[in-house]
Structure 1
Amino acid sequence: MRKSVWWVLGIIVVLVAVVVGIHQISHSAKAKTETITVGSMGSDYDIWKHIAKSKDAKEAGLKIKVQQVTDGVQLNNGTAQGNIDVNAFQSYSYYEAYNKQHQKQQLSALGTTYLEPMGIYSKKYEKVSQIPDGATIAIANNPANTARDLLLLQSAGLITLKANFSSLGNVSDIKSNPKNLKFKEIDDTTGPRVLKDVDAVLISNTVALEGHLHVLSDSIFHEKADQSTRANINILATAKKHASNKQYKKLVKLYHKKDIQRYIKDKYYGTKIEVQKPISYLK
């Protein structure tokens, strides 16, 4: 009788172990195939649609859904609120400006992707030196890109900024404006459309590509990839509470796969310069 009882108990223990094992395997498999929603816009949206369908994503065990959002603030809001897992569209300076302005909705940077040069474009002039006194320059009306535009105008020798110029700097921080340039703030997604209306306009490369402009050949001046432009390197970002999410961090490594980089270089004519650096490099 005692042997029978122990035999029955043994069977029960084995069955429980099997059930628990199956549950753990099932849970593990589910975790591996959990869908990550990546929010993006413009050419970045197209890149991540390609990445989502790539063999590299499959080999990494990542299932990616790409969502298009056409407004940067809305995209960051959606990410901070958890409606979007990770976003791919912004420079580090844009990210910093967002965090400074949204204390209750903080983001965390997961890793670097590329530098996409900002350019100065003009239908009237072929060189920066030809821009005349009193010319009207169109710049972005959002804080991060306003500051970036002004830094580029300084690099081009058109203005000088105050020593304490920050990522939230604006035209009031201009120290010297020898050509008495006038500044027209615009929605930075409309840059190509206002080219004919102003003397020059500063346009991000994502927007330029959408307007069939190539920053390396069509701009009259553009950013160079060096230490001075490190804050303009693009990143992947997530909500602060997900900063340590291992699945999300895999997206950074996925972006830098050789096959993915070859596609990006060919598709965008080398205008998205790969940057694989730790986040500490940007600070």
Structure 2
Amino acid sequence: MNFKALLRHFKFTSQERTGIFLLFIIIIVLQAVYFLADFSVPEKSFPEKQEWISLQTEIDSLKSIRYNEKPKVYTFNPNFISDYKGYKLGMSIEEIDRLLAFRKENKYVNSVEEFQQVTKVSDSLLNVISPLFKFPDWTQNKSTFKTEKKEYVRKSYLKKEKAEVLDINVATQEDLIKVYGIGEALSLRILKQKEILGCFVSMEQMKDIWGLSPEVVMELNSHFKVVIPSNLKKIAVNDASLKELSQFPYFRYALAKQIVTTRSMNGNFNNIEDLSKIKDFPVDKAKIISLYLEF
């Protein structure tokens, strides 16, 4: 190996040696700055951020309380169990039908035992749902009720005989509020619905008013009846425009458009049966709707 040729690469002039020395100095200074200087960016303080954090903590605590809360359980009178309510409770279709058939005879179950006799539900299901039952107070005080039964029946009978059945189309808010279960809000809702329809043509329409329970509807039926006014302006279904039909509460715009289209293609409708053949027509309300129409 030729060492002399190799050593030539390590011979520097005075200027080169000075340059190399300065390079080392610069490297050492940069290393010192790198290890000793603090290059971290100071974090800015935002007062709003602290408020958000505190609020988030409060929200998290409220959420945990809410998730740990047990749902409220409401009691109910088992005499008024509907198909859907019975399904949610775990009753079979046959058990629900037995109860509905019993109620159609205008009879009421007044105890847990009587409920099981009528519906024939199993003991296990009865143990689960019976704590939710709430019967009228008088069923819990039968001994007191029996001693006054004759007088109570006689008085209630006399009251029913004297009770005046009013036409719901002329009833005022004061008349409606007299019915048990109806307050200011529900009475106004009934009057508003009557205003939208022009008048009621059937007491069945009470079931369509939001907020009226089956018990309250029964009370309304015992205090009111429907007398269709002679000046009821009916809709001439064969001449009415699309706008007139779509403004009728029982028709949506899409249905009104189909009625107009079918009428233009097939000619006039002769009766409600012809009209009910149209797709999406509310067949379950056909009888009520027919009383508002003119063919």
- TM-score scaled to structure 2, two decimals? 0.19
Bigger relative contact order, structure 1 or 2, given CA contacts below 8 A and separation 6+? 1
Considering only CA atoms, is the larger Rg found in Structure 1 or Structure 2? 2
Higher helix share: 2
- TM-score scaled to structure 1, two decimals? 0.19
